[in-house]
Amino acid sequence: MEQPRWLSEQEQRAWRGYNQMRRLLTLELARELMRDAGLSEPDYDVLSDLSETPDQRLRLSELADRMLWSRSRLSHHLTRMQQRGLVTREECATDGRGAIVVLTAEGRRAIEAAAPGHVAAVRRHLVDLLTPDEIAALDALTHRVVDHLTSLDRPRG
């Protein structure tokens, strides 16, 4: 059995700092989004993904892949969003088993109202705390890790 490569003191400090930062940042952004816009992070993700498509619609399976959620989990969440009038579902013309998620006018209003405050919070709690060189480094390292992890091609749930 191969011996583990333990983290050095600096690596461990960096890992723990990153993990704590991620938790705190996610928590604060979620709190502010709920307080200011009445949206959860998943609500915001669904609405922003839909709003960024040309026809404001996506296949449920594609949206689930983008969110790293199972189709079942997303379907349950979409049901709650439908009840609030934020999205609708349509049958897929090319696949009888598929569904298309569509942004409603109410969903469009919700994302347009939430986006300025959310972007301001991201700036306040992350972007504006960093120098341009640190932003460039963050951009490079996050994309390197994302590229590595997406190349593993494991099932999401």
pLDDT the model gives residue 157:
55
Q: Model confidence at 98, in pLDDT bands (50, 70, 90)?
A: confident
For residue 49, give every residue at least 6 positions away whose Cβ sits within 8 Å of its Cβ, in sequence order, or none. Answer: 58, 63, 66, 67
Query: Per 3-state DSSP, what percentage of the chain is helix, strand, and coil (rounded to 5)?
Result: 65, 10, 20
User: Residues of the chain with pLDDT > 90: what percent?
Assistant: 88
Global pTM reads 0.88
Q: 16-52, pLDDT tens digit by residue? A: 999 999 999 999 999 999 999 999 999 999 999 999 9
- Phi then psi for residue 99, to 5 deg, are -130, 150
Q: 65-75, pLDDT tens digit by residue? A: 999 999 999 99
Separation CA 81–CA 106 (nearest Å): 11
Q: 119-131, pLDDT tens digit by residue? A: 999 999 999 999 9
pLDDT the model gives residue 154:
65
Q: Share the mean pLDDT of the chain.
A: 94
Residue that wins the pLDDT comparison between 94 and 116 = 116
Mutual angle of helices 60-67 and 41-51, in 10-degree steps: 130
Judged against a pLDDT cut of 80, whether residue 153 lies above it is answered with no
